[in-house]
Amino acid sequence: MKVLVVGKGAREHALAWKISRSPLVEKVYCFPGNAGISQIAQIPELADDSVNTLADFAKKERIDFTVVGPEDYLAKGIVDHFESLGLKIFGANKNAAKLESSKAFAKEIMDSANIPTASYSTVTDLNSGIKVLERSSFPIVLKADGLAAGKGVVICDSLKSATSELTEMLGGKFKDAGAKVVIEQFLKGEELSLLLLTDGTAVKPLLFSQDHKALLDGDTGPNTGGMGAYAPVLSGTSELYEKINEKVTLPLLNELKKMNIDYRGVLYIGLMIVNGIPYVLEYNARFGDPETEPLMMLLKSDIVPYFTACAERTLEKLPELEWIEGYGATVVIASGGYPESYKKGEIISGLTDVDKDCVVFHAGTKFNGNGGIVTDGGRVLMVTGTGKTIKETMDLIYKNVGKISFDGAYYRKDIAHREIKRI
């Protein structure tokens, strides 16, 4: 098979890496790709990154199957377009991706299906928004309705800061994505990610994973796209999985069916576990980043038959996914200044010194023209590894993180701290 992976981050690097290990696959392509991905997949030269251009390429190159990473392609309808041309593809179609691309829509579905989630109001004008805030207790969570590159959620400690944030959101801070704002009750508990492969009816769960969204050690500082992740999570028991299945997954799939939404692909459920009850914080219609990086290293099964079965609605016929025993984790090396402004083009050194049992997935890198690799984004590299225990895994990863350097490089030193304390 020839497989095309769409996207350019570490998540797509991990997906392309896993797909390239499948005996069913003879060649992997990735677009737009990055310097790391180009070492395992061919990056075609295309005029632009539009859905039409990608579909033309897939037809011309006789690509057998396409796997989509990022949400913006899903929200733009890449799956609908490919399928309308008879091209096979893995991912949520445009209607299904609304679960991620509109937080207000996701909340409405959860309400109709009685899925546990924080109580909320949706507002579109400042006066009614302020009235909601005046009746609220703090902290409170403000969420821009649309896609805001992971930056659209702000936790506010006081009426004053919430009013100023709401004013900025409704005033265009996130452009159209903030024209509607969800004001949501703050939940305190443990956050978990559960990713499920689904063909709309059957479901195959990946291991529970945990992301570290805050920039600084101790889970403090501003929210980022994620500074590290690990899997599995000890508190993600089979009892908890059953509870989520009964209270979240099945009601959601039923509700989507009632609405004639054909959900095939990966469903990412962001959860807050409060006193044993799984509350949904968000749905994503794509693989989580950085959760996918350790998950792909831990996955023993060939993922390609699962991707094609989701697209072809035959997932029920496949066994449960199999996993390597032990732990997997990833630590993100980011550019200084991220998630605000940061420099690009810093020369990266030490990549070839990394141990063979670690994989460095590239998030934002490119070649500098002299064969060197330079930084090209806020999150730059994700050093990923596995081990028998979480401690062994983190020791391996941090030893290798220490070998890589560039000007301004920053990483958290406490990834997986909750799991380490649990043992």
d(CA 359, CA 301): 18
| Cβ atoms 193, 211 nearer than 8 A | yes
**Residue 141, contacted partner among ligand GLY, ligand AMP, none, CB below 5-8 A by kind:** ligand AMP
- 156 binds ligand AMP per the rule CB under 6 A: no
d(CA 165, CA 154): 8
Give CA angle at 37 (352, 30), nearest 5°.
170
232 upstream amide cis, omega within 30 of 0? yes
Question: What are the CA-CA distances from residue 130 to residues 119, 163, 179 (Å)?
Answer: 17, 6, 15
**Residue 153, contacted partner among ligand AMP, ligand GLY, none, CB below 5-8 A by kind:** ligand AMP
**Number of residues this chain uses to bind ligand AMP (CB under 6 A):** 14
- 323 binds ligand AMP per the rule CB under 6 A: no
Between 295 and 404, CB nearer to ligand GLY: 295
From the list 72, 168, 191, 302, which residue makes contact with ligand AMP (rule: CB under 6 A)? 191
> How do strand 228-231 and strand 327-334 relate by DSSP bridges?
antiparallel
192-231 positions binding ligand AMP, by CB under 6 A: 213, 223
Beta bridge partners of 180: none
| Cβ atoms 197, 207 nearer than 8 A | no
- 186 binds ligand AMP per the rule CB under 6 A: yes
Between 150 and 408, CB nearer to ligand AMP: 150
**Which residue matches tokens 């703050």?**
186
Between 289 and 376, CB nearer to ligand GLY: 289
What are the helix (H) ranges across 169-259? 238-244, 250-258
**At closest approach, how far in Å is the CB of 258 from ligand GLY?**
26
From the list 165, 184, 211, 255, which residue makes contact with ligand GLY (rule: CB under 6 A)? 211
**Residue 221, contacted partner among ligand GLY, ligand AMP, none, CB below 5-8 A by kind:** none
**At closest approach, how far in Å is the CB of 252 from ligand AMP?**
16
Residues of the shown chain interacting with ligand AMP in the complex, contacts defined by CB under 6 A = 118, 141, 143, 153, 184-187, 191, 213, 223, 270, 281-282
